Amino acid sequence: MKLAEITNYLESIAPLNYQEDYDNSGLIVGDPNMDVRAALVALDCIEAIVDEAISTGCNLIITHHPIIFKGLKKLNGKNYIERVVLKAIKNNIALYAIHTNLDSVHTGVNARICERLGLSGTKVLSPKAGLLKKLVTYCPNAQAEQLRSALFYAGGGSIGNYSECSFNADGFGTFKGNEDSDPYVGEKGVRHHEAETRIEMVYPAQAERKILVALFENHPYEEVAYDIYKLENKHQQVGSGMLGWLEYDMDAYDFLHLVKDRMHAKVVRHTALTGKRIKKVAICGGSGSFLLKEAIAAGADAFITADFKYHEFFDAEEKIIIADIGHFETEQFTSNLLVEIIQKKFTNFAIRLTEQNTNPINYLF
């Protein structure tokens, strides 16, 4: 199997344009056309993971966290990042990361946490803007259905749980071709009136190339009239964190013990209890302190995440319980999620879940 087959599939689930600006998801080391024998999946790409890949015959490592966040000016092995990259290149092992783009999709990292905590009715806590565009075009009535269908197939017209969404209005267009034109209808040099359908549909920004190919290949006119608009609408299924509901409200201490148990956390750092029972819960895998205001505004009784700093705990202001369970602890089940995603598509592909615990933090009890 070619490496590109796997990476293209992963990016169809978690597109690279969904990642945060600071991130470095995608193919970090490797040739997209290389043949992949087997893949090793882990949370972090450290030297022990590369050694495990070598010993198990895997020439692809897929991790949640990218080994490179910032640019490298030298590769001389002076730190673990350079040693990992050098060892991977030396042993012809590809490195691929699927980080905040997987965090952002509604079926990704945060959905797995919600699943483990038994939350239902889940939705994205802070949806992203700037990911949607709208196409408007004008087509002769007779060819409008064919064009609509082609645009739907290319990825247009999907809104939440609905597909093939479009708005259509009848009108007429005018045009006059010059001597070099080859009009589909009408005559050169004569103004023509044609009954047309105005077709509008929303599409994800990453699908634009396919949308335009479908438009030009299925529109009958020599010159296609169309407009593309950037939308400020937030993509309700893409964004940071998630919000969900417990089946029954719980005593706060009982809930914190549930979180500790279900998430295999060594310790739970939390703010003072608010006196309320817990029903609505906000979560964010990894560093989630930036979402505290959104969690409070959403009316969450508790916020489960990691990497809160000392003074940030005061920001709860007795409106919500912050429960910091650790960065590794919130994301440790991501590797299992990735294995399931890949096995669902490539049923005969050799994929391994790492046997290494890559958590750099140890606890003294």
**Helix, strand, or coil (residue 278):** strand
- Exposure of 67 in the CB half-sphere (CA atoms within 13 A): 28
> Would you state the structure tokens that stand for residue 170, as one six-digit string?
């009848």
Q: Which of 149, 128, 130 is nearest to 139 (CA)?
A: 149
The two tokens of residue 357 are 């615990």
| Residue whose token pair is 């247009």 | 156
Cα distance between residue 26 and residue 143, in whole Å: 39
| Cα–Cα distance measured from residue 357 to residue 343, given in angstroms and rounded to the nearest whole number | 22
Q: At what angle do helices 47-56 and 80-90 cross, to 10 degrees?
A: 20
Lookup: tokens for 208: 């634009």
User: Phi-psi category of 309—alpha, beta or left, where left has phi over 0 and alpha has psi -120 to 50?
Assistant: beta
Residue 294 assigned as binding residue: no
Any idea which residue has 């933090």 for tokens? Answer: 361
Tell me if 327 is assigned to a ligand binding site. yes
What is the chain's alpha carbon radius of gyration, rounded to the nearest angstrom?
25
Check whether 65 is labelled as a binding-site residue. yes
Residues that constitute the known binding site for a divalent metal cation: 64-65, 103, 327, 331
Residues that constitute the known binding site: 64-65, 103, 327, 331
